[in-house]
Structure 1
Amino acid sequence: MSDVLDFRLNDLVPADADSKYAQRGFCSDDLTILAEHHTAPNGSHSYVVAHDRSITRGVPGEPQIAAITVARDCNLHTYTLQTAYHATAPFAQNWLIERGCPPERIAQIGDDCMQPADDLTVQIEQHNRESGTRYEVLSSRTSDLVPCEAWTMTRDCLTGQAPVRVFPQEGDFDAHTYTVREGAFFDERAAGRCLDERGGPMPQPPEYRGQAIEHRARAALIRSSGASAIPKAGLDAPSAPPTGTAQRPSRGRSL
């Protein structure tokens, strides 16, 4: 992974005004690369996830994770640069994947960054990263204060039950880790109230409860199957032969 972001735009000119404006808006000194992928062999496309420190000097709460894609036309000597800002890396990665980046090429975040604290965080992040267009981002907020936190509020397009989903990410500077959770709400007002009050755990998505019931049923079935496979030792049960090496009776001498 590169230490300095290089858009590789030598001898190329912007294909449109948006690309020119986007390129001028970046300062490489403010960008820390979290993940990147450049196509081979001619490097016609680049996909980058980066933390933009310049955002911390602007409006409080704005998303700081930049998703950047560059498409180069070597025949026309032009480039097209697009960017989008997100509160957390998985949604930035999702944006790049939807624009042609192979998921496995952009999934790994650098080891110098905070790492997931538990398996649930890993599962939720992978789900969000590879969710396609399932989630419509409604709003987000990033805080550098303690506790360090960023959250994304979305609308789940594939469910009618509690379709507003909130994904808060909380960092632990001492442990150099972070956790991500998912909450499900009927509307944006309920989600916003929960984020403001933080009186307790967020309501879990209905599918979580379904999965929990399925896991419990599966565990019960395994226990039931295991119990029935073990013969009951009762008065009527035939005695099992002792394990180990049986001693043969001595034949002795014939009389």
Structure 2
Amino acid sequence: MPRTDYRPDFRLDGFEPVNDTVEEAFWDHIDSESDSMTTLAAHHSTDGRASFYVIHNGAVTWGIPGEPQLIALRLERDIAAKSYSFEHARLPLPAMAQSWLIKRGCPAEAIALPPGMGTQPADTATVALQQRLAADGDRFALLHSYTDDTSPKPETTVLLRALDERVEKPFRVLLEQADLDTYTHTLREGVFETYEAALGWMEDRSSPLPPAAPSTRTISPAAPPIAPPQVRGRAR
């Protein structure tokens, strides 16, 4: 049987970059490594003007250790002029990539990762947190992340800061841990009053994550998971 090709289809046949700057940027950030990319989820508007992608870039695992391996990409096409522009973000977790796309016009249900794309959520707490991040991710700024895919139990740590200055404990640490024996993962979060305290926990890890207050957002049990897990990169 032929091997399934999961590389992204940008649907740009017959289209040219809107200017030289876009052409150079698209090559530098996207197209130059497209052979190492896997499309985790994609949505295309019915009029063909916009496309949204969650992409895993396998080339990152050969570069600087710990760098985010996911790309959120939005393509915008001018159908009449046959030109395109784009915007993108490199992010450490699928839910964060989905949140970025949702805030730029992608329907939330359309960018959910299909079954089989990486490990599966191990529990309802993981599903609930992924859904909340996808819905509310724009309330936080990404400060640091580290993706470790070199061990049998890969993990990603993320440090966020709430944009609302009234939040009592504005710093949040997310910890995703995968079990490749069961092909599942968990995602947990902790809250901290200061940047130094959050960094201290990330460096020490001898105590449990300080629990966040229960979310006031209601998540329907029937709602489909917004953010199944990421596909892991190859070991260095």
Q: Using structure 1 for the length normalisation, give the TM-score.
A: 0.77
Return the index of the structure with the highest Cα Rg: 1
2:187 is matched with 180
In percent, how many aligned pairs have the same letter? 35
1:35 is matched with 41
Deviation string for 1:87-116 (max 9, x for gaps)? Answer: 110001111111110111012344242111
Q: Is the CA contact (8 Å cut-off) linking 1:88 and 1:151 kept in structure 2?
A: no
2:13 is matched with 10
The whole-number CA distance in structure 1 between the counterparts of 2:20 and 2:92 is 26
Instruction: Give unpaired runs (5+ residues) of structure 1.
Output: 212-255
1:124 is matched with 129
The whole-number CA distance in structure 1 between the counterparts of 2:20 and 2:195 is 35
**Correspondence 1:99-138 to 2 at 5 A:** 99-131=104-136, 133-138=138-143
The whole-number CA distance in structure 2 between the counterparts of 1:18 and 1:66 is 20
Deviation string for 1:202-233 (max 9, x for gaps)? Answer: 1012x23x98xxxxxxxxxxxxxxxxxxxxxx
Deviation string for 1:144-194 (max 9, x for gaps)? Answer: 122311122111234521110111111111111110001100111111110
Q: Does residue 1:198 correspond to 2:205, yes or no?
A: yes
The whole-number CA distance in structure 2 between the counterparts of 1:69 and 1:17 is 18
2:234 is matched with none
| Greater Cα shift, 102-111 or 176-185 | 102-111
Q: CA deviation at 1:18?
A: 4.4
Question: What SS does the corresponding residue of 2:59 show, helix, strand or coil?
Answer: helix
The whole-number CA distance in structure 1 between the counterparts of 2:18 and 2:102 is 22
Q: Is the CA contact (8 Å cut-off) linking 2:96 and 2:137 kept in structure 1?
A: no
The whole-number CA distance in structure 1 between the counterparts of 2:35 and 2:155 is 24
Higher relative contact order (CA 8 A, sep 6+): 2
* Number of residue equivalences: 208
2:26 is matched with 23
CA RMSD of aligned residues (A): 1.9
Letter in 2 for 1:38: H
